[in-house]
Amino acid sequence: MISFENSKDKIENCTKNAKIYEVVDKIEFNEKEFLDAENIKADVVFINYWNREVSEEISLWNDLNPSLRRVIDTAFSCADNFVMLLPSKSRLEELVEIVYEALEKNDDASKRSFIEIIHMKLDGKDCGIAVFYGEVSSVKQSLVVLV
C-alpha cells in the first residue's frame, strides 16, 4: 500500500494507526500530495474527502481542495479502480458530471465498469457518500471503520 499525505501530522497519525493494526510494514508513507505522484500503478485508489464536518451543501466543482476533477484524473492515471468517500452534503449531480467528464477524457476508463454510489447512514443520520468505480463496485460486503 502506498499512502500520500500532505503533512507530517497526518503521516504520524497514519503511522500510529498502522502500528495499532499491525500493518505498518505493509504501507509506504509519502509526505506529498497525491497529485504530485509520478509513475504510480495501483490496483485501487482510495480518495478520502470525508474527513470534514459540513453543515451545508458542498459544491464538488468549487469547494474541495485539491479539486475533485484533478484527483479523479490522477486516479485514472494510476489505477483501473477507485473508492471515494465524500461529505454527505455533496451535490450528487455534480459528482456524476465530474466523473463522466473524466471518463470521456480517458477512453480506457470508460470501458472498464460502472459506478456505484451509496449514501451512508449512521444511527439514521446521513454521514457520507461512498463512490465505487471499477471492479470494486462488485464487492458484496464493505466495512467502514469510524475512528
Percent of the chain whose pLDDT exceeds 70: 84
Q: Which residues of 136-145 are buried (b: 16+ CB within 10 A; e: fewer)?
A: bbeeeeeeee
**Alpha-carbon gap, residue 105 to 116, rounded angstroms:** 20
Domain ranges for the chain: 1-32, 34-138
Task: Write down the pLDDT at residue 38.
Answer: 74
Task: Write down the pLDDT at residue 142.
Answer: 39
Task: Write down the pLDDT at residue 141.
Answer: 40
Task: Write down the pLDDT at residue 20.
Answer: 93
Is 3.40.50.150 the CATH classification of the domain at 34-138? yes
Specify the pTM: 0.75
Task: Write down the pLDDT at residue 52.
Answer: 58
Strand duo 2-5 + 28-31: pairing: parallel
Task: Write down the pLDDT at residue 113.
Answer: 61
Task: Write down the pLDDT at residue 16.
Answer: 93
Q: Average pLDDT by consecutive 10-residue portion of the chain (147 residues)?
A: 85 90 88 81 82 71 81 83 86 85 70 75 86 69 36
Q: How does DSSP classify residue 43?
A: S
User: Which of 113, 14, 3, 77 lies closest to 47 in space, CA to CA?
Assistant: 3
